[in-house]
Amino acid sequence: MERILRINKLSKRFGKIQAVDKLVLEVFSGQVFGILGPNGSGKTTTLGMILDVVAPNEGSFEWFNQMETVEARKKIGSILETPCFYPYLTAVQNLRITAHIKKCGTDNINDILKQVGLYDRRNDKFKTYSLGMKQRLSIGAALLSNPTVLILDEPTNGLDPEGIAEVRDLIKEVAASGKTIIMASHLLDEVQKVCTHFCVLRKGKKLHEGSVSETLGEINKVEVEAIDMAKLGSVINDFPGKSSYHENGISFLVTLKEDTTATDLNNHCFEQGITLKKLFTHRNSLEQEFLKILREND
């Protein structure tokens, strides 16, 4: 797997505040890498340094195996601040201005607007957009030059639930197209739903780094019970969506495969003549692991 970014002992101090402290990280091609931590943990400062808008005091970083910085920046799209467009111009007009600044073509503007779900509103003024739409247009602007890497700073911050869902789905879609995404967030649930890998920062120090799936372990367990437990055990054994199962006292604890849901298991049991009298889903959460990581590093 190609290494996209290497950060080596990167540090930044603002007066008496150590914003980032000897940070070491690696990001590889195809990852959706979340930099997770509370406000003031150094997330935005880290993104600023790797984008060359904040000068580090110590350490170094390299993009694409020591590619020259100017050339590397051409392969990176980023959003570090809140959406900033001309309010009285349309989406198309704003993206044309962005393309001019980035010195990239404008032939893909309509395709970009379709990708971010704004094509039908392409001729409406920016000031008429919801916060979620404004954020989606920002992501569209970052995608104009067809970058290899997309960097997002708190992409769902301040959005309502609908806006969060819209931006989350867009990030997943962009990642599925093969782009590497690096995003900073303090919203644990969003990192769990979107990211493949993450690190935890606190007061500028890295406390943890790893893949989301490995950190959470088995995250999709279902506890089921029926009147005829012997038959239920046989039915579960024949269920193709199970990863494993075992008897748990008076019930069965079933670990489901990644793309399988409790509904699938319930339907399978019903089709085999078993009506479940208990179905309870156990899900590990990144919040639980996050708090555990903080406790272990107190």
Q: Is position 170 within any domain?
A: yes
Rounded-to-integer distance, Cα 205 and Cα 178, Å: 30
Q: Is position 293 within any domain?
A: no
Rounded-to-integer distance, Cα 16 and Cα 170, Å: 39
- Domain encompassing residue 226: 221-282
130, 201: one domain:
yes
168, 52: one domain:
yes
Task: Give residue 34's Cα distance to chain centre.
Answer: 6
268, 131: one domain:
no
Q: How confident is the model at residue 217 (pLDDT cuts 50, 70, 90)?
A: low
Q: How confident is the model at residue 294 (pLDDT cuts 50, 70, 90)?
A: confident
129, 275: one domain:
no
Residue 180: predicted pLDDT: 97
Q: Is position 149 within any domain?
A: yes
DSSP alpha helix (H) spans, the chain = 43-50, 69-73, 91-102, 109-115, 131-143, 161-176, 188-194, 212-216, 229-237, 262-271, 286-296
Assign 24 to helix, strand or coil.
strand
24, 69: one domain:
yes
User: Which pLDDT tens digit goes with each residue over 71-125?
Assistant: 888 899 999 877 789 999 999 999 999 999 988 999 999 999 999 999 999 999 9
Last residue of a domain, one of 216, 234, 258: 216
**Mean pLDDT calculated for residue range 222-249:** 92
CATH number at residue 153: 3.40.50.300
116, 242: one domain:
no
Total structural domains within the chain: 2
Lookup: tokens for 277:
């009298």
181, 248: one domain:
no
Q: How confident is the model at residue 282 (pLDDT cuts 50, 70, 90)?
A: confident
Q: Is position 230 within any domain?
A: yes
84, 145: one domain:
yes
User: Which pLDDT tens digit goes with each residue over 28-50?
Assistant: 999 999 999 888 999 999 999 99
Residue 82: predicted pLDDT: 73
The predicted model scores a pTM of: 0.78
128, 152: one domain:
yes
Residue 193: predicted pLDDT: 87
Q: Is position 288 within any domain?
A: no
**Mean pLDDT calculated for residue range 234-258:** 89
Q: Per mean pLDDT, which range of 136-145, 157-166, 178-187 is the poorest?
A: 157-166
Exposure string over 9-33, b if 16+ CB within 10 A, otherwise e: ebbbeeeeebbbbebebebeeebbb
Burial class of residue 101, CB neighbours in 10 A (0-12, 13-18, 19+): exposed
Question: Do residues 56 and 18 make contact, with C-beta atoms less than 8 angstroms apart?
Answer: no
Q: Is position 287 within any domain?
A: no
User: Which pLDDT tens digit goes with each residue over 195-208?
Assistant: 999 999 999 999 99
**Mean pLDDT calculated for residue range 59-68:** 88
Residue 277: predicted pLDDT: 92
74, 192: one domain:
yes
User: Which pLDDT tens digit goes with each residue over 264-280?
Assistant: 999 999 999 999 999 98
147, 37: one domain:
yes
Residue 283: predicted pLDDT: 66
Q: If you average pLDDT over every residue of the chain, what do you get? A: 90
Question: Does pLDDT of 14 surpass 70?
Answer: yes
Question: Does pLDDT of 218 surpass 60?
Answer: no
Residue 38: predicted pLDDT: 86
CATH number at residue 247: 3.30.70.100
User: Which pLDDT tens digit goes with each residue over 123-161?
Assistant: 999 999 999 999 999 999 999 999 999 999 999 988 888
Q: Is position 96 within any domain?
A: yes
Last residue of a domain, one of 216, 233, 267: 216
97, 226: one domain:
no
Q: Is position 296 within any domain?
A: no
Question: Do residues 79 and 116 make contact, with C-beta atoms less than 8 angstroms apart?
Answer: no
Question: Does pLDDT of 219 surpass 60?
Answer: no
